[in-house]
Structure 1
């Protein structure tokens, strides 16, 4: 932490900011009533971060909907690994993390499942097998030209946008003047394991041919990160014992992960005339994750807890487990799109078609565990994290006997075909008024296939010392002693040499192999009509969109009678849906003055259920009279959205804005267990306990966004190089009709009550520096059976910084730091003092060099 503080102080003393990224050039004309009236009618050339900020503000000002944007230089100016981490700095946005990296984007407190993510205007595919949310950590930030988040939608946008829409754009040759390019390399260090991450990227764009009618941009990115994460959790097992809540389980884990990202962009443009723009866009991204996760678990028997106080106690006859999980994950996405825009006299036509293939392959998801029993010790709840103190037998590998091993692999794939056409024609009402119509066809094919083999017995003696690995002394700075680990190669070699002595767990093998298999086909035909009506300073966009959805689903049933002979069986459980929805909408804009823009909107949107929820998987346990199943009859979520905003622009240099929003949501989805009598996968059951996703009654989300940013160019030199900005969003949501929680209203999952960000930056004399802060409050992760078992993710705040210096023209060296305050991930059960999980990643620093032209 001393290194962290020194780094942060150094950045602050140099008045921190940092913009990485290729320098963008922009031109801004100052309005006559702006603070810069003295330079009226002059063209001011600005480069670097300020150019990117001004361009983003101009895009926001010119938009007829409520949007926020980050431009190319802005995307690269902080130590952001991916698009999600970049976007969390915009008003009202936060991210869900995975081992310290941003992965999914949450807009105004609405689940990432309900955010429409597009790539160059076309729907992005989701490699994940269980949900529709797009993993934004697959897309390196170095390949991005701009990202626009639309918080209100217009009829020409997909209606699958209850949370809004995020459009990721890659750079084209016609976005810049002349030939441009950059080469960048960086190497760093991680706090916890001392490993050195490194990354590199390069880009080149140019126009050529007669009258520069052809354009090409090529970009490449590679990064390699080997990091450690330390984790302790209770697994949701806080229970009331003798009137006091006690965590009956504690698992300590030490993650060792290597993540590699590859990315490439190839964009081609042809503009044979001023009236025709023809393009081809290609993007390929690959994400590889290799993880080794040793774990040490102590599970208490509540009847063997003695000497209890509110914060301590002794235990006996506890069970222990030593486990090792080895996982490989490969995801890759290929997108190809072709189209053109044509000015047809007063009319305009756009046509486009695209294909996206998203693969997620897990070649290995293997686990082996050994168990022990009869452990004694004590627990301590007096500090911020619970601690179990175990006797010496917990650290003796000879006391752990083989329990179970599993070998699993799976693959998910999504093929997405899209075609659209949009036509606009002017009308005679006011200046620039028009009518726009269009159609879009989307065809999706999603599959998931898992195969597993589980062994839960061994004929003979097999103890952990026979496959012992390098011990781990402790984690969390000595707070949690760890001890012996399992060596994966030794375990695999032992298994191969003694294969005949292992006992197959047929039920586990069949269940793990069949329960996740499904095939989903979905076709969506959409058509819309909208008008853009301009009368002086007033703009109205009324319109309506229609989307017809036709889907069919196939999965597999798992019965008590299922055997390994059924592993290759075809789908035998089916479902389908066919529905049509209408989405009227109205967006209003009033330019009250040259600086003040007022907006309002009333829109409708839809959120289709996740793939895993729709898949008609049926698992029947006749012995326990229980059924677990998907629900192909789930209704989609729908919302009515009310938005207002006021934006005051400080010339082209800043903005002060306030926005209010209110969403009513029908049919939110939760898991429920009900008593049913019927036939399930051919099995007749009476009063069976059936667990499946169901629609609840309704929910609402409301909130207020405040945002301000400006260049401090009015200060005397050299202080005029400073810029400052910040935003805070207040959100409240409630859902009713949640199964098992009669009469209660709970927040929506993943919704923080407050989201905030702030930055201070400096750019002058070749120096660029920035320090940034992001914050989100706690949010509900998963409802439990009651308030004591609700699982929350705790508040999170993070400091990042970067400083760069132009050694010579076009050559920059930089130093940056991420998570400088060593902020961990926290989760708790019911109330914040019942810590369920803490995971720390430490800070990281990185230095590099960039050449750009």
Structure 2
């Protein structure tokens, strides 16, 4: 770290020396606002994106929408994945892989280290999945709540500047919406009427959006209104192995009869998994601008997006944890590379060989913000911008209707593994019909909600200069009060649910289930219908508030709160000379944290609060972090078409909210869980970036760059044994819990990018990113991987466009990367590629048609624990979006 800090200081001093020795500029030269330019179509958007990238003083990637609702891909995250150095993922916790990108990260790091902004300000995020609402809460933003119709452009800042909001260790993504005074016409009205067909879900659903903009002739008043209502059905078919494989211990009963199995890995659960969900997203944006004077613009903006996301997950599982520790396999079993790769078990008449979870959740997620802006040219040489705003995200699981039944008593079981590249072949004997159920259990009939909110104020100033190399000086401050909270204040105590449920309606798994992933495992399965499950739970449960002490349903163990108050101030000097430009700046950040959580205790006399879930004491931790973050960016025009850039900076990201605040939690099936660590330090990165860009023709680019990041106090995860409250036994028991810890890490890599038109109507593009990351932390599998680091990522694409037709074809692939922990075991997502296409036809200026096809290669998303131990295989199918666009 001392070397990196010295090198960073030297880089900043060198840039100051270059600025001091530069020749004076002409007296009238200063930054000016560009006239509004409206570009449409593939060629226009590519040209505008490259122009913005070329003119920027810092490392910047830009995607510009061809027109309203016409980003290069159907959703914002899918659009960004085509940029060099950008990765996407489709999940934020343990919900597994889906067909739509949900998180964005930069340069081989986790999404939490990438900051997402809208128009330069924070946005409260929310997730629909219950674990992302409480146990696994990062600092990334869910892109499923941000429809592409709202986006004018997206800026990816790869190098830091003092004037940019802090929070993105590896960079930031700024989503820019349209403003009413930017429109060329007095009245603009547009509508998009469409449908989406989800092939695997066998469903076609409506997709509607509309825009109206008014701007008066004087250009002093404008109002923009956008609205959207979009529905989509999902069906995911999978083999899941929850919690991964476990190691047979020397104290396990089977060790006495089969000592060769001690230390061997065996599956705790092998699942045949069907997930279905309905996502309905509704909301809109209102933006008003008013110019009472030529030097003063006032703006008010408000955005809201609400998504209902009810979902039903069914997982019929071979229950290895219930017999493989105690029962000897039949002779002929195979141990391969430390894994019990092939085994058969005779039926024990007193033992269940299968467990079946059916979990129907009423879930939702929503986000909103409101801002008030003042742009004031105080004088010809001094401009200012003030903003006050508030944002709130909320993810809620109102109810969970859960049936967990055991089956296949005395039937025996078998499995045969094929490494991480193919599903496990497995089977259970005995009665697996509803009549074969031997026991019933339920849990989680509990309200769970996550609140993410921030209030902020910022004041930014720019002072222009007429002489010398110093062209302008940016300075300002920002204050923010942010809170992230997980709540579980009330729920229902179950009664005799099973008496009703066992007579409830059932339905079969769909025909052709899991054909897309192969393997031999149970497919001809049944499940209770969502209505039957809901009615049985609601009709036989008592809803209790959280204020009833020991008899209430307040789950204190699932609650925590992280409150952060931050003040930042910055100064940034911008320089310009003959064929060079750049900036140097300092940003001071001061953050106070208050972290609230609960710790379980076994003695009620020591408890401060109690409920049916146990007894707790309140735990509060306060932290203060202050730091000066330097940054420097230099740009040299080596030739009219050749640009070289160099950047150096220090950046900071606070640990994930749940890493700081989450109380310990556990799964009774495998006695593993997770918890928080309120004493974590912020991640501080020292960054270097160099890039050479050759703009060899209009809309043509060839670039090569290198980057390095030294991550101090990187957050990894260790494990320890903690006592947690078990809902099954109603007492404290030992769980192996994953706990976040500070470590150090580093990542360096190379980025290559190429874009070229071929003639007037064709073009191709390609990019490649290499990322080599490691951490000083050693995971349980002996590796030193960084979370989220794909060593190789590449994109290739081609396009065609004339006056009427447009077409794009693109393929993206990223190599394997570490996801996190499954139970106590690290697990990875395997290499993954998607093929997509977009077609458009413009009948006239008022009417056009488009067809977007996603996941045309029907990719399989594979997770694994090691090269010999798989974790999950997911198939989501293809999606087709057809839209008719009307424009006035």
CA distance in 2, matches of 1:824, 1:193: 16
- Given that 2:703 and 2:753 are in contact with CA atoms closer than 8 Å, whether structure 1 keeps it comes out as yes
CA deviation string 1:4-36 (max 9, x = no partner): xxxxxxxxxxxxxxxxxxxxxxxxxxxxxxxxx
For 2:278, the equivalent position in structure 1 comes to: 258
In 1, the alpha carbon distance for the partners of 2:746 and 2:803 equals 50
Counterpart check, 1:824 vs 2:860: yes
Tell me if 1:87 matches 2:125. Answer: no
Task: State the shift of 1:642 in Å.
Answer: 0.5
Alignment partner of 1:518 is 2:538: no
Distance 1:87 1:537, change over 3 A: same
Q: Secondary structure at the match of 1:53?
A: helix
Partner residue in 2 for 1:67 = 60
CA contact (8 A) 1:526 1:546 kept: yes
Displacement after TM superposition at 1:724 (Å): 1.0
Aligned to 2:27: none
How far 1:748 moved relative to its partner? 0.6
The CA distance in 2 between the partners of 1:359 and 1:365, in whole Å, is 17
Residue 790 of structure 1: SS of its match in structure 2?
A: strand
How do residues 683-698 of structure 1 correspond to structure 2 at under 5 angstroms? 693-698=739-744
Q: Residue by residue, what CA displacement relative to the aligned partner does 1:754-781 show, whole Å, maximum 9, x if unpaired?
A: 1111211111140111111111111011
Distance 1:775 1:321 in 2: 36
Q: Does 1:111 align with 2:110?
A: yes
Counterparts of 2:672 and 2:443, CA distance in 1 = 26
| Correspondence for 2:329 among 298, 305, 319 | 305
- By how many angstroms is 1:631 displaced? 2.3
Residues 369-768 of structure 1: pairs in structure 2 closer than 5 A? 369-372=404-407, 373-382=409-418, 384-427=422-465, 430=468, 433-451=471-489, 462=499, 465-472=502-509, 475-477=513-515, 479=520, 480-495=522-537, 513-561=555-603, 565=611, 572-615=618-661, 617=663, 630-673=676-719, 693-713=739-759, 720-738=760-778, 746-768=784-806
Shift, 1:231, TM fit: 1.6
Task: Determine the C-alpha separation between the residues in 1 that align with 2:716 and 2:292.
Answer: 54
1:331 and 2:324 are equivalent in the alignment: no
The alignment yields a C-alpha RMSD, in angstroms, of 3.3
**SS of residue in 2 equivalent to 1:466:** coil
Quick check: 2:139–2:656 contact (8 Å CA) kept in 1?
yes
Change in CA separation of 1:411 and 1:423 when aligned onto 2, cut-off 3 Å: same
Alignment check: 8 A CA contact 1:447 1:520 kept: yes
Identify which of 184, 188, 191 aligns with 1:183.
191
Q: In the aligned structure 2, how far is the partner of 1:296 from the partner of 1:507?
A: 36
How far apart, in 1, do the equivalents of 2:448 and 2:595 lie?
19
Tell me the CA shift for residue 692 of structure 1. 6.6
What's the CA shift for 1:246? 4.6
Q: Is the 8 A contact 2:110 2:787 kept in 1?
A: yes
Instruction: Check the 8 A contact 2:359/2:402 in 1, yes or no.
Output: yes
**Mapped contact 1:407–1:452 kept (Cα < 8 A):** no
Of residues 530-539 and 800-809 in structure 1, the stretch that sits farther from structure 2 once superposed is 800-809
C-alpha distance 512-593 of structure 1, shift in aligned 2 (>3 A): farther
Distance 1:585 1:815 in 2: 44
Which stretch shifts more, 144-153 or 811-820? 811-820
Partner residue, 1:36? none
Aligned residue for 1:109, secondary structure, equals coil
For 2:715 and 2:879, the matched residues in 1 are separated by 38
What TM-score comes out, normalization by structure 1 length? 0.85
Offset at residue 368 of structure 1 (A): 1.4
- Give yes or no for the alignment of 1:293 onto 2:327: no
- Are the counterparts in 1 of residues 680 and 742 from structure 2 also a CA contact under 8 Å? no
Q: CA deviation at 1:392?
A: 4.9
Distance in structure 2 (CA, Å) of the matches to 1:529 and 1:847: 48
CA distance in 2, matches of 1:627, 1:84: 30
Q: Does 1:233 align with 2:257?
A: no
Match of 1:141 among 148, 159, 164: 148
- Structure 1 residue matching 2:558: 3-state secondary structure: coil
Residue number among 820, 834, 849 corresponding to 2:869 in the alignment = 834
Give CA deviations for 1:323-365 in whole Å, capped at 9, x if unaligned: 2111122222221111122222122211111111222222123
Distance verdict in 2 for CA 1:828–1:722, change over 3 Å: same
Question: Measured at CA, do residues 426 and 193 of structure 1 come closer, stay the same or move farther in structure 2, by a change above 3 Å?
Answer: closer
- C-alpha separation between the residues in 1 aligned to 2:721 and 2:874? 38
SS of 1:197 mapped into structure 2: strand
Determine the C-alpha separation between the residues in 2 that align with 1:629 and 1:508.
Answer: 24
| TM-score normalised over the length of structure 2 | 0.82
Taking a change above 3 Å as real, the CA distance of residues 626 and 323 of structure 1, as seen in their structure-2 partners, is closer
Q: Contact conserved, 1:547 with 1:582, CA < 8 A, in 2? A: yes
> Does the CA contact (< 8 Å) of 2:191 and 2:209 recur in 1?
yes
* Superposed displacement of residue 666, structure 1: 0.6
Task: Output one character per residue of 1:586-622: Cα deviation in whole Å (capped at 9) or x when no partner.
Answer: 111111122111100110011101222222747899x
Question: What SS does the aligned partner of 1:121 have?
Answer: coil
Q: How far apart are residue 535 of structure 1 and its match? A: 1.6
Partners of 1:216 and 1:571 in 2: how far apart?
52
How far 1:175 moved relative to its partner?
2.7
Q: Is the Cα–Cα contact under 8 Å of residues 632 and 649 in structure 2 kept in the other structure?
A: yes
CA change 1:641–1:123 in 2 (3 A) is: same
Counterpart for residue 771 of structure 1:
809
Give the Cα separation in 2 of the matches to 1:364 and 1:44. Answer: 50
| Equivalent residue number for residue 727 of structure 2 | none
Equivalent in the alignment of 2:176: 169
Change (3 A) 1:409 1:81: farther
1:388-433 deviations in whole A, cap 9, x for unaligned?
1232522353334213344121122222111111112123553671
Distance 1:565 1:463 in 2: 27
Separation in structure 2 between the aligned mates of residue 233 and residue 285 of structure 1, nearest angstrom: 32
Change (3 A) 1:734 1:454: farther
Partner SS, residue 592 of structure 1: strand
Report the alpha carbon displacement of residue 371 of structure 1 after superposing the two structures with TM. 0.8
- Give the gaps of 5 or more residues in structure 2: 1-35, 92-97, 128-132, 249-259, 543-547, 724-733
The whole-number CA distance in structure 1 between the counterparts of 2:841 and 2:797 is: 19
Q: Following TM superposition, by how much is the alpha carbon of 1:105 offset from its aligned partner in structure 2, in angstroms?
A: 0.4
> 2:120 is matched with which residue?
121
Asked if the contact 1:510–1:558 (Cα under 8 Å) also holds between the matched residues in 2, the reply is no
Distance 2:552 2:789 in 1: 37
Q: Is the 8 A contact 1:110 1:751 kept in 2?
A: yes
| Whole-Å separation in 2 of the counterparts to 1:81 and 1:44 | 24
Secondary structure of 1:748's partner?
Answer: coil
- Give the match for residue 402 of structure 2: 367
Alignment partners' CA distance in 2, 1:620 and 1:750? 24
SS of corresponding position for 1:351: strand
In structure 2, how many angstroms separate the alpha carbons of the residues matched to 1:137 and 1:508? 39
Instruction: Report what 2:7 is aligned to.
Output: none
Assess, with a 3 A threshold, how the Cα gap between structure 1 residues 356 and 632 changes in structure 2: closer, same or farther.
same
**Secondary structure in 1 matching 2:162:** coil
Select 1:220's aligned residue among 224, 227, 240: 227
